[in-house]
Amino acid sequence: MVLNQVIKLLQSKYHYKEEAKTICDKVQVKLSKECFHPSSTCITDLRTLHWEEAIQETKGGAANRILAEECYFLWKSTRLQHMILAEDVKAMLTELRKEVRLLLLTNGDCQTQREKIEACACQSYFDAIVVGGEQKEEKPSPSIFYYCCSLLGVQPGDCVMVGDTLETDIQGGLNAGLKATVWINKNGIMPLKSSPMPHYIISSVLELPAVLQSIDCTVNMSA
């Protein structure tokens, strides 16, 4: 677990005890509620502030920006080290790309997402990569899907959206009128009745080739 490295740092170097886990738990909550506006702050400042606030809320006293920065950069570097594209996924993408065009579309801050892409070295497996934070609108807005289609030189009705988030990936694909949507339900969760309904559901991305073959073996895919 990524946060375990920060807990070890706080316990060994700064002699925190149970407070170390409390601080990390607080940061997790702050990350889950994070609202990032690139026009007003940068992601590094915002996430360092999460750590600074968590430390101050737990330990009291004056804000400790230096410790917050140390925690943040350790958390970030450890997180990036764990972002590895599995060999079987690489093989699948390589085979798929012989038949279809692949585009990686991700929401989020451009710095953060580009660092993740670089860390997992996935660039060579896609014909194009689009980061929502670099565009006017993100998923589920149809505009970013139309932009992706234009990059690939295809029509929305020729594309399939594959993703693990119903509210952005699947809803976005539906909004844009794509040929099909495929939801990767890794945890086997039961979606809410109000959730968007994908055309196909798989439990692993490795099931994707079979699904695409059932849709159309020559489909152009946006993943």
Question: Residue 186 region, left (φ>0) first, then alpha (ψ -120 to 50), else beta?
Answer: alpha
Structure tokens at 9: 């740092």
DSSP symbol at 81: H
User: What pLDDT was estimated at residue 221?
Assistant: 46
CATH fold of 87-221: Rossmann fold (3.40.50)
CATH class of the structural domain 1-82: mainly alpha
Grade residue 219 by pLDDT with cuts at 50, 70 and 90.
Answer: very low
In this predicted structure, the answer to whether residue 40 has a pLDDT above a threshold of 50 is yes
For residue 65, what are the contacts with CB-CB under 8 A and spacing of at least 6? 48, 52
pLDDT in tens, 160-183: 999 999 999 999 999 999 999 999
All structural domains of the chain with their residue ranges: 1-82, 87-221
What is the model's pLDDT at position 37?
Answer: 79
pLDDT beyond 70 at 218:
no
The residues near 30 (Cβ < 8 Å, ≥ 6 apart) are: 50, 53, 54
Could you tell me the pTM of the whole model? Answer: 0.85
Give me the half-sphere count of Cα atoms (radius 13 Å) on the Cβ side of residue 112: 18
Q: What is the DSSP letter of 158?
A: G
